[in-house]
């Protein structure tokens, strides 16, 4: 049947920063301007104006008009936008609206830690659970995990880290990207106070959380210096399943050049960032990073295969981009000029960055350490990031539901929401580097898309907005399958629309969907509605950025 997306007035259902852009989208076939009204919590009209006709929006397959209410300067809760008798979902206006979201987006990581009990005092009784994968029956991992038969003869203790997503696999390329983004967030926006066991120690909470994953990544390094690509179950387990109840045999899957270079990159960033906080960790990181770099140079084409059972593939057959990213991180960490010639990639807006495409991260690394490069070269890095941000700004302005993701092939990819957040991050960084306010506006307006101003009136972040995603694909946060289990923690970002329809639930429910509507808040739809560490790290970065801007 026809899907019901509720009100045609689409807003950021969390709200708008008092000092930021305030725009909304109205779904209509009407082509001339209409009257809009802003209502406060008492239903009093506090602002009004005329909509701006836009026309057909390709990604959503509908026609829309735009509303701009920036000149309203008040603040409070329970606002609604109205066009005729159509009312939007309620939203707030204020300068603290991203504070709790930025904290929740990071506490996602504690909730998904492996190898430690998740305690009620931090997450509440409902989401507390026993430690997973410490070799306690029925678990068979992760304290002494053998290699996949026939691939090597040793076992490694690879306890800890974060579960990747709704599954119990732990994958180096993806985990490293997420840990890297947390470290970059720290450099960009500083610390966030978290409810985690390490709170109150001498290290910033954000760095404590990243350390949980970095310790795991270090354990994945083989004696040769190469790094195992991943560790996961022999076969896919079903849903629901608590981590401590997973009975499957787990294996170390073969080493890869990509995983090795990810450890080199994040290890180098770790060495630089923790130098003033945890010298021991910084030292271990640098040693591991340099060892990984040398091993990758000697083994430049060991590719992780596509396919396989029991875990995600995270396959990648092009690693020039990983070499370049690792070289840039090593240059900025060590100052050793020999790494410069190995930096061969630049930020390319069309490619963006992801666990697979890391070439652009070289420029993001260089941007953090001006003294690592001659002045003119540093300026070129800044110019490239600003140029990419300009492309994302154009992409944003070219859409009826403005957002910085506009795929050239007109198809949304698995995890599209992370592309939105990562491209918004580039605009945020460009603003920091250039002080041009249009990039700030673009970064902030991108959040409207994730929080409800979109083709399906969906806030993709649990606990934020009237129509929020709360049935994400997760083996423990599986309330929709078993009422005794918890729902996803607030601040969990759903993968988002995916044109590929790569799971049976999506194939049944989404045939013929316009790209930006290919999403179901159904626990079975892992190709549109999973969570993942590298998606929540993107959400954490951009919401911390938004929160910071509103206090400066
Ligand atoms: O790289 C190509 C690009 O060149 C092409 O233009 C584009 C358009 O089709 O596709 C790109 O490849 C996509 C790839 O992700 C990289 O973005 C594939 O189509 C897409 O199927 C693939 O999806 C990945 C998915 O696993 C399936 O392998 C997601 O990125 C990745 O986040 C997801 O990760 C899963 C793990 O396997 C298991 N754990 C949960 C996790 C999240 O769902
Ligand atoms: O639960 C798995 C999810 O984390 C992955 O992203 C997804 C794609 O690799 O696979 C899910 O596992 C399913 C498997 O692929 C097929 N059999 C059913 C599994 C659970 O839904």
| Cis ω before 240 (30° cut-off from 0) | yes
Tell me how many degrees the CA angle 324-327-332 measures, rounded to the nearest 5.
130
Q: Is the CB of 233 under 6 A from ligand 2?
A: no
Using the structure block, give the residue that is written with the tokens 């009975």. Answer: 247
Active site residue 474: no
Residue 495, sorted as left (phi over 0), alpha (psi -120 to 50) or beta, turns out to be alpha
Which of 107, 167, 395, 547 does the annotation list as catalytic? 167
Closest CA to 439 of 491, 394, 406: 394
Please provide the average confidence, as pLDDT, over all residues in the chain: 98
ipTM: 0.97
Q: 259 CA to middle of ligand 2, Å?
A: 22
pLDDT of 451 above 90: yes
Element (H, E) at 80: strand 76-83
- 163-199 pLDDT, tens digit per residue, is 999 999 999 999 999 999 999 999 999 999 999 999 9
Pairing verdict, β 15-17 and 91-94: parallel
Percent of the chain surpassing pLDDT 90: 99
Half-sphere exposure of 384 (CA within 13 A, CB side): 22
- 483-518 pLDDT, tens digit per residue, is 999 999 999 999 999 999 999 999 999 999 999 999
Q: Identify the band that residue 162 occupies on the pLDDT scale cut at 50, 70 and 90.
A: very high
Element (H, E) at 107: helix 99-111
CB 43 within 8 A of CB 90: no
Active site residue 187: no
Backbone torsions φ then ψ of 132, nearest 5 degrees:
-105, 145
In the prediction, which pLDDT does 551 show?
73
Q: Is the CB of 311 under 6 A from ligand 2?
A: no
- 234-246 pLDDT, tens digit per residue, is 999 999 999 999 9
Backbone torsions φ then ψ of 493, nearest 5 degrees:
-90, 125
Active site residue 521: yes
Closest CA to 110 of 127, 135, 133: 127
Q: Identify the band that residue 1 occupies on the pLDDT scale cut at 50, 70 and 90.
A: low
The first and second tokens of residue 3, run together, are: 């899907």
Active site residue 57: no
Pocket test for ligand 1, best of 161, 176, 409, 415 (most atoms within 8 A of CB): 415
């Amino acid at each position: 049947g026809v899907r019901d997306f509720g009100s045609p007035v689409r807003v950021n259902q969390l709200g708008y920063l008092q000092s930021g852009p305030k725009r909304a989208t109205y779904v209509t076939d009407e082509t001339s301007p209409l009257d809009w009204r802003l209502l406060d919590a008492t239903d009093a009209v506090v602002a009004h104006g005329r909509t701006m006709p836009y026309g057909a929006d390709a990604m959503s397959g509908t026609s829309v008009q735009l509303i701009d209410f920036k000149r309203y300067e008040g603040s409070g809760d329970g606002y609604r936008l109205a066009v005729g008798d159509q009312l939007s979902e309620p939203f707030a206006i204020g300068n603290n609206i991203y504070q709790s979201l930025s904290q929740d987006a990071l506490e996602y990581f504690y909730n998904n830690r492996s190898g430690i009990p998740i305690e009620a005092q931090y997450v509440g009784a409902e989401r507390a659970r026993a430690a997973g994968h410490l070799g306690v029956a029925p678990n068979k991992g992760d304290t002494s995990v053998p290699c996949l038969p026939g691939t090597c003869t040793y076992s490694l203790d690879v306890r800890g880290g974060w579960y990747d997503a709704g599954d119990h696999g732990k994958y180096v390329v993806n985990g490293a990207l997420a840990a890297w983004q947390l470290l970059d967030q720290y450099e960009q926006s500083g610390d966030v106070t978290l409810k985690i066991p390490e709170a109150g120690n001498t290290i910033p909470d954000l760095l404590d959380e990243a350390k949980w994953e970095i310790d795991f990544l270090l354990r994945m390094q083989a004696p040769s210096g190469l790094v195992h690509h991943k560790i996961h179950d022999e076969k896919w387990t079903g849903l629901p399943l608590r981590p401590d109840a997973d009975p499957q045999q787990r294996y170390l899957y073969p080493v890869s050049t990509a995983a090795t270079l990810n450890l080199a990159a994040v290890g180098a960033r770790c060495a630089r960032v923790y130098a003033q906080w945890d010298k021991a960790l910084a030292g271990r990181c640098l040693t591991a990073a340099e060892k990984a770099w040398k091993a990758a140079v000697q083994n430049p084409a060991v590719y992780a295969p596509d396919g396989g059972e029991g875990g995600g593939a995270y396959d990648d057959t092009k690693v020039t981009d990983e070499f370049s990213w690792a070289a840039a991180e090593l240059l900025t960490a060590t100052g050793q000029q020999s790494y410069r010639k190995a930096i061969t990639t630049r930020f390319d807006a069309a490619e963006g960055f992801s666990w697979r495409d890391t070439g652009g991260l070289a420029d993001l690394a260089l941007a953090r350490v001006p003294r690592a490069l001659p002045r003119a070269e540093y300026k070129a890095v800044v110019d490239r990031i600003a140029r990419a941000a300009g492309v994302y700004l154009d992409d944003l302005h070219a859409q009826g539901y403005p957002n910085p993701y506009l795929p050239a092939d007109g198809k949304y990819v698995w995890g599209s929401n992370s592309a939105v957040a990562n491209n918004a991050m580039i605009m945020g960084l460009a603003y920091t580097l250039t002080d041009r306010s249009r990039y700030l506006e673009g970064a902030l307006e991108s959040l409207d898309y994730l929080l409800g101003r979109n083709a399906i009136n969906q806030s993709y972040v649990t606990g934020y907005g009237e129509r929020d995603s709360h049935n994400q694909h997760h083996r423990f946060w599986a309330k929709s399958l078993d009422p005794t289990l918890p729902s996803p923690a607030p601040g969990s970002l759903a993968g988002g629309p995916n044109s590929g329809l790569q799971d049976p639930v999506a194939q049944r429910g989404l045939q013929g969907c316009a790209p930006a509507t290919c999403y179901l808040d159904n626990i079975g739809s892992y190709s549109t509605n999973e969570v993942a560490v590298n998606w929540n790290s993107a959400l954490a970065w951009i919401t911390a950025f938004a929160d910071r801007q509103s206090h400066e």
